[in-house]
Amino acid sequence: MKTQGSRLPRWLRSEHPFPWLFPVTSLLIVFGLYPVLYSLWLSFYKRNPATRKETFLPSHNWSKLISDDRVWDAVQVTFSYACIALILQLVLGMLIALLLDSDKKGFGILRALMTLPLVVPPAVTGMMFLLMYDSSFGVISNALYSLNLLSPDAPILGTGSTALWGVIIADVWQWTPFMVLIMLAGLRALPKEPFEAASIDGATAVQSFFHLTLPMMSKIIALAVLIRGIDLFRVYDYVKVMTDSGPGTATETLTAYAGTVYFKSANFAYASTVALATLILVLVTATLFIKIFKVRF
C-alpha cells in the first residue's frame, strides 16, 4: 500500500538537510546578510551631493567617520545611554524580582501585571512619555515643578542636561519588566537548601544575597545584560519620537545619527558606514563581554 508520504515530491521526502534549511536560510540571506553586504559595498562609495553620483573610493567614508566629531559624540551618548539604562534596569529588575519572588496570595497577579509595559510598542511609549514630560500639562513635569526639583524654564526633553535622562526613563519603564521576568525565572530556579545552610551558617538576608544569590545567578544576569545591552546599543525609537536627537545633538545616538544622515542628508553611503560602525561596536563589545564574563548559551 502506498503511504501518504510516498506521494510527496521527492525533494520533500529527502533526508538531506538542505531542502529543510532552504526557506529560513534564504530569508536570512535576503533580509540579513544581503543588507549588511550591500551596506558594506555602499560604504566604499563616495557620494557627490551635487551630482548625486557615487564613485568608488573605499577609504573615503571610513576616514570621514574617524574624523567626524559627531560620530564620537554619538558614541559617547550611545555608551552613556546603554550603560545608565542597563544599570537602572538591572538593579530595579533584581529588586522588583526579589520583592515578587513569593508564593503568597496575589503575587501571581502582580507578576502578570509586571509584563504589561512590554506589550506597548516602543514608539507609543515614547509618545506617552513625551506627553507626560510636556511642560504645560505633563504629569511628570508638573510633579517635578511642584516638588521644586525642576523649573518650567528648563523642560526635561528640551534641556541638554536632562533630555537623555528623560529618554532613558522611558526605556527603563518599558524594559525593566523584561529584566524582572528573567531575574524571577532565575530566582525561582535557585535551590532552597544552600540558603537554609547559609542561614544556619549565620548569614543575614543581605549576606545571603551577595554571597549566594548573586554568584548563583551570575550566568543568568550576564545573559540578561548581553541581550538588553545589544538592544540598548541600537536604540532608535525613543530618541526619534521623543527628542529627534535634540536638543542639538544631546541625545543623538549612533543609530539616530545614521538615520539622520540617511533620511535627512540622503547620504546613503555614509549612513551605511555609520550603521556598520554601530554593528562593529556592538559585536566587539558583546564579544568582549562574553569572553570576560564567560557567558554560556
Least gap, CB of 193 to another protein (angstroms)? 3
Taking the complex as a whole, how short is the minimal distance between the CB of residue 32 and another protein, in angstroms? 37
Helices of type H across 151-213: 160-189, 193-200, 205-208
- When the beta carbons of 123 and 190 are compared against another protein, the nearer one is 190
Taking the complex as a whole, the smallest distance from the CB of residue 107 to another protein amounts, in Å, to 18
Shorter beta-carbon distance to another protein: residue 24 or 206: 206
SS3 string, 19-82, reads HHHHHHHHHHHHHHHHHHHHHHHHHCEEEECCCCEEEECHHHHHHHHHHCHHHHHHHHHHHHHH
The residue among 9 and 191 lying less far from another protein, judged by its C-beta, is 191
CA gap 93, 181 in Å, rounded = 8
Q: What is the DSSP letter of 210?
A: I
CA distances from 152 to 126, 134, 166, 216 (A): 21, 10, 15, 47
C-alpha cell recorded at residue 162: 536632562
Closest contact distance (angstroms) between CB of 186 and another protein is 14
> Which residues are CB-contacts of 181 (< 8 A; sequence separation ≥ 6)?
114, 115
The residue among 63 and 199 lying less far from another protein, judged by its C-beta, is 199
Closest separation in Å from C-beta 206 to another protein: 11
Buried b (16+ CB within 10 A) or exposed e, 267-281: bbbbbbbbbbbbbeb
Nine-digit cell string for 27: 530569508
In this complex, which beta carbon is closest to another protein, that of residue 204 or of residue 287? 204
Q: How far apart are CA 83 and CA 63, in angstroms?
A: 27
The Cα 77–Cα 256 span in angstroms is 11
Nearer to another protein, 64 or 211 (CB): 211
Question: Would you tell me which residues interact with another protein (CB under 8 A)?
Answer: 191, 193-194, 196-204, 207, 211-212, 215-216, 218
- Please compute Rg for the chain using Cα positions: 25
Q: How many helices (H) and strands (E) does the chain have?
A: 14, 2
